[in-house]
C-alpha cells in the first residue's frame, strides 16, 4: 500500500529545497571565487542556515514516517523508497570524492536519512512519551558521551565525535535522530488533534512548492551538478 501525499508537508519540504538551492548556489559561487570570500564552515550566517535547512528535511522525513504508519504503508513499499535513498547516498560519496578528494562525504544528509528513517520505522510502535524521551536523549548524547573512539571515518557516523570531521557534509545519527523523532511526534500529534494542519488544502500559490517537495530526492541529486556546471560555464566564458 502506498501513502497518500499531504500537500502541506510536501510544500514544507519544497520550501527547504528552494532554500537549500540558494545556499548551495552561494557555496558554489564562493568555491569558484565568483563572489567575495565567505566562510561556510564557521560563519554563523551560513552554519545557522545549514542547521535550519537540514532540520526541516529531517523533521519532514520523520513526519512522513508518521503519516506512512497511520496510512498502513507496508515494509515492501518502505524498502522501495529506502533503496533509492541509499543508492543516492552512495552516488554522493563517489561524486564528492571526485570533487573534494580531501573532504569527501562519507556520512552526509542522505546517508543519515537512510539510516534514521529506518530507525524511525522500527521505533514507530513506541508511544509518544517514549519517542520524545529518545529524541531528547539523541539531542543531548553528543554533549555527554563524545569520545575520540568516534573520530574516525569508520565510526563518526554515530555522532559522538570530539571534533567535526573534515568533510563537505556531516549528518550523523546523533544528535540528528532527535530531529527525525521530533518530526514523528509532531506529525502524530497533529494528525490526531488537528488533522487539517497537515492534511488541509494548500493555497494555490504554494502548489509549486508541493510539487517540488514530491520530487525532493531527484531534485537533490540533480541541482548541484547543474549549479556547478553553470559556475564552470561562467568561469570559462569570462
User: Reduced to 3 states, what is the DSSP secondary structure of residue 170?
Assistant: strand
What percent of the chain stands above pLDDT 70? 99
Q: What is the pLDDT of residues 62-102, one digit of tens each?
A: 999 999 998 989 999 999 999 999 999 999 999 999 988 99
In a domain, 198, yes or no: yes
pLDDT for the residue 157:
97
In a domain, 157, yes or no: yes
pLDDT for the residue 3:
60
In the block, residue with C-alpha cell 571565487 = 33
In a domain, 141, yes or no: yes
In the block, residue with C-alpha cell 570559462 = 236
- Cα 221 to Cα 54: distance, rounded to the nearest angstrom: 15
Residue 199 has pLDDT above 50, yes or no: yes
Q: Report the pLDDT averaged over residues 3-17.
A: 91
Q: Report the pLDDT averaged over residues 2-27.
A: 92
Contacts of 230 (CB under 8 A, 6+ apart): none
Q: Which domain holds residue 92?
A: 7-237
Q: What is the pLDDT of residues 113-149, one digit of tens each?
A: 999 999 999 998 899 999 999 999 999 999 999 999 9
In a domain, 47, yes or no: yes
User: Reduced to 3 states, what is the DSSP secondary structure of residue 155?
Assistant: coil
Residue 1 has pLDDT above 50, yes or no: no
Mean of the per-residue pLDDT values for the chain? 94
Sign of the dihedral defined by the CA atoms of residues 96, 98, 100, 106, in that order? positive
- Domain total of the chain: 1
In a domain, 62, yes or no: yes
In a domain, 2, yes or no: no
- Helix, strand and coil content of the chain, in percent to the nearest 5, comes to 75, 0, 25
Q: What is the pLDDT of residues 98-115, one digit of tens each?
A: 988 999 999 999 999 999
CA distances from 4 to 26, 44, 70, 183 (A): 35, 38, 11, 18
In a domain, 199, yes or no: yes
Tell me how far apart the terminal alpha carbons of the chain are, to the nearest angstrom. 53
In the block, residue with C-alpha cell 550566517 = 45
- Cα 154 to Cα 107: distance, rounded to the nearest angstrom: 10
Q: What is the pLDDT of residues 209-234, one digit of tens each?
A: 999 999 999 999 999 999 999 999 99
pLDDT for the residue 130:
97
Q: Rounded to 5 degrees, what are φ and ψ at 170?
A: -145, 110
User: Reduced to 3 states, what is the DSSP secondary structure of residue 107?
Assistant: strand
Amino acid at each position: 500500500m502506498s501513502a497518500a501525499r499531504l500537500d502541506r508537508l510536501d510544500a514544507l519540504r519544497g520550501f527547504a529545497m528552494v532554500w537549500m538551492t540558494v545556499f548551495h548556489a552561494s557555496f558554489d559561487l564562493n568555491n569558484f571565487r565568483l563572489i567575495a570570500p565567505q566562510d561556510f564552515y564557521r560563519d554563523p550566517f551560513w552554519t545557522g542556515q545549514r542547521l535550519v535547512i537540514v532540520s526541516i528535511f529531517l523533521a519532514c522525513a520523520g513526519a512522513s514516517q508518521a503519516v506512512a504508519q497511520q496510512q498502513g504503508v507496508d515494509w515492501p513499499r518502505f524498502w522501495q523508497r529506502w533503496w533509492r535513498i541509499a543508492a543516492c547516498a552512495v552516488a554522493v560519496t563517489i561524486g564528492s570524492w571526485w570533487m573534494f578528494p580531501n573532504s569527501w562525504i562519507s556520512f552526509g544528509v542522505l546517508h543519515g536519512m537512510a539510516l534514521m528513517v529506518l530507525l524511525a520505522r522500527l521505533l514507530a510502535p513506541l508511544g509518544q512519551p517514549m519517542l520524545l524521551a529518545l529524541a531528547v536523549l539523541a539531542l543531548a548524547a553528543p554533549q555527554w558521551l563524545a569520545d575520540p573512539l568516534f573520530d574516525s571515518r569508520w565510526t563518526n557516523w554515530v555522532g559522538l565525535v570530539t571534533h567535526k570531521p573534515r568533510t563537505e557534509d556531516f549528518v550523523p545519527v546523533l544528535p540528528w535522530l532527535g530531529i527525525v523523532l521530533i518530526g514523528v511526534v509532531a506529525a502524530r500529534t497533529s494528525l490526531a488533534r488537528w488533522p487539517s494542519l497537515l492534511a488541509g488544502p494548500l493555497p494555490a500559490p504554494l502548489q509549486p512548492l508541493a510539487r517540488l517537495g514530491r520530487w525532493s530526492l531527484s531534485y537533490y541529486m540533480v541541482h548541484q551538478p547543474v549549479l556547478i556546471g553553470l559556475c564552470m560555464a561562467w568561469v570559462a566564458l569570462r
